Amino acid sequence: MEKWETKSAIVILNYNGSDLTIECIRSLRECSELLNIVVVDNCSTDQSYEKIKKIFEKDKYTYIIANNENAGYAAGNNVGLRYIEKNLEKVETVCIMNPDIKVESVDTLYHLYEALWSEEKLAVITAQTIYNGKLRYPNDFGWKHLTTKYMLLGGTLLGKIIKTSIRYSSIDVNPENIAYADIVQGCFFMAKLKLFKEVDYFDEGTFLYEEEAILGKKMQRAGYKEAVLINEFVYHNHHEKDKKLIKRKNKIFDMTCFYNSRKHYVKFYSEISEIKKRLICTYLDLDLFIKKMIIRL
């Protein structure tokens, strides 16, 4: 009987973070020698591709791809997903995994795999996440679809005064420890390749941010579900990105990505009137302008 690992592939997107990516691959290899690991170097400028390729060139189940441009998180991961679709014909399950995610046991991946395939309409599943050593509540791994109020205020200056949230205050769990959610975290999840392909993978209209919210909406429109397996955990060390955002230029770029992605969601995935869409996008442009001014001053 063919092992489940041979029918699964993990996509890891690297950009100028070879040490973290190498550590991630090695950690996965401690879990399983058979898992397919597809690393996409997103046009790094620090010789990441060469470093990773040299270390894992003899690992026949690790594939290193050099992307010829950095078009962002969604597009970079899609390179890996399409590589799997074209070249790894046995693979039916894919896992999106950031380099700063750690899975401590192959059992976690196997239990996610089992849960994912336990229901025909279940397309995407994740685990609970211990974020920088903390299990945060309300949850930080699954959310509701973006509301009109959240699209307008979430992450903005006014939103610090007028609070809004898409977090669940509570979530129903079935006997198999599966809790359904509108959106699951983008840093780590497992998906059925066929259904992921059906919705055309990630929307490449975003560079960073909102990719998981958009995927949740795409899956809903296609009639599929997303969920959290609440008795399994992964670890997310997010400090690496935070260090890079210290520089003013990087902060402005990061903010701009966030606002552009929010507007993309509003324009193409919200079910509100065109007038409301224009008003929200205008407010987001104004809020970004004010934030840039504050940083520059």
pLDDT digits (tens, 9 = 90+) for 227-255: 999 999 999 987 644 455 457 778 999 99
Beta bridge partners of 122: 225
DSSP 167: B
Q: What is the pLDDT of residue 245?
A: 44
Asked if residue 287 is part of any domain, the answer here is no
Asked if residue 282 is part of any domain, the answer here is no
Asked if residue 152 is part of any domain, the answer here is yes
- Phi and psi at 189, nearest 5°, equal -160, 160
For position 24, which CATH number holds? 3.90.550.10
Cβ burial 238-277 (10 Å sphere, 16+ → b, else e): eeeeeeeeeeeeeebeebebbbbbbbbbbeebbeeeeeeb
Residue 138: asked if its preceding bond is cis (omega within 30°), the reply is yes
Q: What is the pLDDT of residue 242?
A: 46
Sign of CA dihedral 104, 110, 116, 118: negative
Q: 81: exposed, middle or buried (C-beta count within 10 Å: 0-12, 13-18, 19+)?
A: buried
How many other CB atoms are there within 10 angstroms of residue 20's CB atom? 17
Closest residue by Cα to residue 98 from 79, 120, 73, 123: 73
For the chain, residues with pLDDT lower than 70 are 1-2, 137-138, 239-246
Written as one letter, the residue type at 161 is I
Q: What is the pLDDT of residue 70?
A: 95
- Phi and psi at 169, nearest 5°, equal -75, -30
The structural domain count of the chain equals 1
Q: Is 119 helix (H, G, I), strand (E, B) or coil?
A: coil
Asked if residue 258 is part of any domain, the answer here is no
Q: 219: exposed, middle or buried (C-beta count within 10 Å: 0-12, 13-18, 19+)?
A: buried
Asked if residue 274 is part of any domain, the answer here is no
Q: What is the pLDDT of residue 149?
A: 98
Asked if residue 174 is part of any domain, the answer here is yes
Asked if residue 273 is part of any domain, the answer here is no
**Beta strand spans in 213-274 (E):** 225-236
CA 21 to chain centre: 16
CB 295 within 8 A of CB 248: yes
CB 232 within 8 A of CB 128: yes
CB 15 within 8 A of CB 42: yes
- Report residue 235 as tokens: 């670890």
Q: What is the pLDDT of residue 203?
A: 98
Asked if residue 251 is part of any domain, the answer here is no
**Domain span at residue 25?**
4-243
Beta bridge partners of 226: 124, 181
Beta bridge partners of 96: 11, 189
